[in-house]
Amino acid sequence: MARREYKPVARVSEAVPGGTPVEHTPPPDDLGYDLIPKSRYTSEDYMRLEWERLWTKVWLLAGFAQDLEEPGDYICTEIGRESVIVVRQDDGGVKAFFNVCMHRGNRVVAEGIDNAETFKCSYHGWEYGRDGRFVNLPNGELFPQGKPCRGLVELPCAEWNSLVFFSLDKDVMSFEDYIADIAGHFEPYKFDRMVITRDATAEWACNWKASVDAFNETYHVAATHPQLLWYLNEMDVQIDCYERHSRYLVPFGVTSPRIQRAPEIPPPLKFMMTEAGLDPASYEGPVDGIRDIVQKHIRATAEAEGRDYSALNDDQLTDDYNYLVFPNLTFNTHADHLMLFRHRPHPTDPNRMFFDAWTIEYIVDEEALPTRRPRHKIIKDGDRSMGMVIDQDGGNLPKVQAGMNSAAYQGLWLGDLEVRIRHFHKVMDDYLAD
Amino acid sequence: MDLGLRDKRAIITGATKGIGRQILELLIAEGCNVATCSRSIEAVEACIEKASTRKAQVFGDVCDIRDQEEYAAWIDKMVEQMDGVDIFIPNVSAGGGMDSEKNWWKNFEADVLGTVRGVEAVIPHMKENGGGAITMIGTTASLETFAGPQAYNALKASLYTYSKQLGQFHGADGIRCNIVSPGPIEFPGGSWDMIRDTIPKFYEKTLRDHPTGRLGKPQEVAKAVVFLSSPAASWCNGSNLVVDGGFTKGVHF
């Protein structure tokens, strides 16, 4: 593609007090330009290695703390071949357990969100408390050898920014160490004041990393999401790589340098202005001035509207601060909402995966609050829309996976706008190394 | 067929880009001198430099046609520079939009008053000349329901009545007045280019509704405008020429 001259998007130069750090942390300069072998996406051997050295060693997301308000509220979530229960304790803490009855191996609860006094196995009625300990073992006299253990097998668990994490590794490093270099990044958004407005899972015919990749670079925007060229600058992104996590900061409220000239205010920018309380028809300035006036207007009106954006910088009022929390979480953080994607591997097939999408929103108008939590939607083969952008990505991925399996294809040939993918594979290498 | 445009003098508002630019270039190619304006002096200067040929000259100056005095002064200046005016094409539009009452004011100011004030300014000169041609830019969105109820569709509609009556009223002075109704026109940097990307379902439906499966090109509108503006169309007065590739379904009895 021919390079075009364009004016860089103005960015805030320093964080507000207590705000999200904004300094540029460039990728390590030894990432190189080697091809990333396709076997990482297609081979069962590599998948097995991932299970042994990655999934069973890292911290993983269980769900949102707002689904664990009362003692006994639990989330049962699956990762690969394992199922995990995360449950609110009577003392307000949270514990995680393998979802396995220690008697004959039955799953104790089904995947989903619910509340339980105790966890009772449906097979023979072995019953465990919220703390995982045995409560009742029917006809205990039939087991002269005693109980197999003290109850459900417990796992490390942590709460962070209203999100609940667990690890399948009882010896995992502390969660604080795991996220140390992005500690403080999300706090200013105050996820605790946002409510869940979407909860959906799609099964996609691709490797989980292909899905991670789709949200780790903006190079695909022009061909896959042409509508976004009229709404954001996909070429002028600040890419920051940390020890295992990474992010890019994508300016919204501008047009792409690939757009020579917008004939009028593009519809998505009109929508952004209207949402902010500005009248696009009254705006006489240039299209590339819209991001700035939207930021200023939101800043000026927030307090009167009861919105507290004091810990966010001006860019965060429009832009997408997009994080990969290793290995499988994509955070699209915005002042008034978070779109969180979780990319989960299929238990057995490297060519399949589960894509979980949640949206949580900061809604100050009591009347606009959803009356109840949305039900978890399951989407198969794109039979329901997840929104235009995700549908466009989800439309690509099965074809990408099919092509990766071709004899012609050797691996990923990555450019500079795709450096987060390269960094991600470097971190994968570190985990998968002997 | 000779259009008879050689050495004629045309004024077209806002023709540094888009469909207007195509009209301007086509007039120049026919040997007609053309004066235009833009809110950006750089755009005017670039147009004068790029579009002028040995056969015909582009004139121009910066002008916001929404400012009555500025607009009148610009027309006077262009008439003076070209030593008269034979053709007037009010081309500036505020475009579509249904998100604010402000759109009604904007379309009234740019599409309606931008036409009316220009017409009133050029007619004395045309009378002096012994005649002239005015070609307005309408839209098929006024002829049939399209997109959504909005100021652009409704206020452009007023130009049809106005242009018809002008043709009758000034016919005796040798001044013809016609209107062209373009359907959806697509070109890089145009509205339909943006709609294709940002509202793809609407774009695809519009495309399917075209018998040829494509949208119009600026050149195709420009040719119709240039013809109606030329002496070759001497017997066309008060007509509405629909240029939409067969998109609209209404029958023109």
**What is the least distance, in Å, from the CA of B224 to any CA of chain A?**
23
Pull the structure tokens for residue A406.
């071709």
Helices A267-276 and B191-198, interaxial angle, to 10°?
70
* Gap between the Cα atoms of B48 and B54, Å rounded: 12
- Give the SS3 label for residue A41: helix
How many inter-chain contacts (A to B, CB under 8 Å) are there?
53
**pLDDT category of residue A139 using cuts at 50, 70 and 90:** very high
CATH number of A59-171: 2.102.10.10
Whether residue A281 and residue B100 make contact (CB cut-off 8 A), yes or no, is yes
Beta carbons within 8 Å of B208's beta carbon, 6+ residues apart = none
* Residue A216 per-residue DSSP state: S
What is the domain count for chain B? 1
| ipTM, interface predicted TM-score of the complex | 0.82
Single-letter code of the amino acid located at B127: K
Say yes or no: A411 contacts chain B, CB-CB below 8 A: no
Which superfamily does A1-58+183-434 belong to? Naphthalene 1,2-dioxygenase Alpha Subunit; Chain A, domain 1 (3.90.380.10)
Query: Which one has a higher pLDDT value, B24 or A383?
Result: B24
What local confidence, expressed as pLDDT, does residue A2 receive?
38
Share of chain B above pLDDT 90, in %: 96
Q: In what order do the strands lie in the sheet with A246-250?
A: A238-241, A246-250, A320-325, A329-333, A337-345, A353-361, A195-204, A377-380
Whether residue B103 and residue A261 make contact (CB cut-off 8 A), yes or no, is no
What local confidence, expressed as pLDDT, does residue A24 receive?
96
Indicate the domain borders of chain A: 1-58+183-434, 59-171
Q: In what order do the strands lie in the sheet with A154-155?
A: A112-115, A73-79, A82-88, A94-98, A154-155
Q: Is residue B210 part of a domain?
A: no
What local confidence, expressed as pLDDT, does residue A7 receive?
79
Pull the structure tokens for residue A14.
């320093």
**pLDDT category of residue B253 using cuts at 50, 70 and 90:** confident
**pLDDT category of residue B153 using cuts at 50, 70 and 90:** very high
pTM of the model: 0.90
Share of chain A above pLDDT 70, in %: 98
What local confidence, expressed as pLDDT, does residue B144 receive?
95
Taking 90 as the threshold, does the pLDDT of residue A5 lie above it?
Answer: no
**pLDDT category of residue A1 using cuts at 50, 70 and 90:** very low
Say yes or no: A258 contacts chain B, CB-CB below 8 A: no
CATH number at residue B177: 3.40.50.720
Say yes or no: B145 contacts chain A, CB-CB below 8 A: no
Q: Across the strands, what pairs with A210? A: none
Q: Does A1-58+183-434 match A59-171 in CATH topology?
A: no
* Gap between the Cα atoms of A357 and A349, Å rounded: 21
Whether residue B196 and residue A280 make contact (CB cut-off 8 A), yes or no, is no
| Phi, psi of A252, rounded to the nearest 5 degrees | -105, 160
* Gap between the Cα atoms of A210 and A421, Å rounded: 10
Taking 70 as the threshold, does the pLDDT of residue A403 lie above it?
Answer: yes
- Would you give the distance in Å from CA A327 to the centre of its chain? 10
Pull the structure tokens for residue A269.
């920018």
State the residue range of the domain holding B45: 9-186+217-243
Q: Is residue B171 part of a domain?
A: yes
Question: Which residue among B95, B99, B200 sits closest to A227, beta carbon to beta carbon?
Answer: B200
Q: In residues, how long is chain B? A: 253
pLDDT tens track for A335-364: 999 999 999 999 999 999 999 999 999 999
Say if residues A93 and A225 touch (Cβ distance below 8 Å): no
Share of chain A above pLDDT 90, in %: 93
Average the pLDDT over A211-230 and give the result. 96
Q: Is residue B249 part of a domain?
A: no
**Max CA distance (Å), chain B:** 51
Say if residues B183 and B161 touch (Cβ distance below 8 Å): no
Question: Which residue among A229, A264, A282 sits closest to B191, beta carbon to beta carbon?
Answer: A264
Whether residue A279 and residue B100 make contact (CB cut-off 8 A), yes or no, is yes
What local confidence, expressed as pLDDT, does residue A331 receive?
98
**What is the least distance, in Å, from the CA of B106 to any CA of chain A?**
8
- Give the SS3 label for residue A276: helix
Query: Which one has a higher pLDDT value, A178 or A5?
Result: A178
Whether residue B99 and residue A261 make contact (CB cut-off 8 A), yes or no, is no
Say if residues A28 and A423 touch (Cβ distance below 8 Å): yes
Q: Is residue B176 part of a domain?
A: yes
Say yes or no: A264 contacts chain B, CB-CB below 8 A: yes
* Gap between the Cα atoms of B104 and B93, Å rounded: 12
B chain contacts of residue A282, beta-carbon cutoff 8 Å: 100, 102
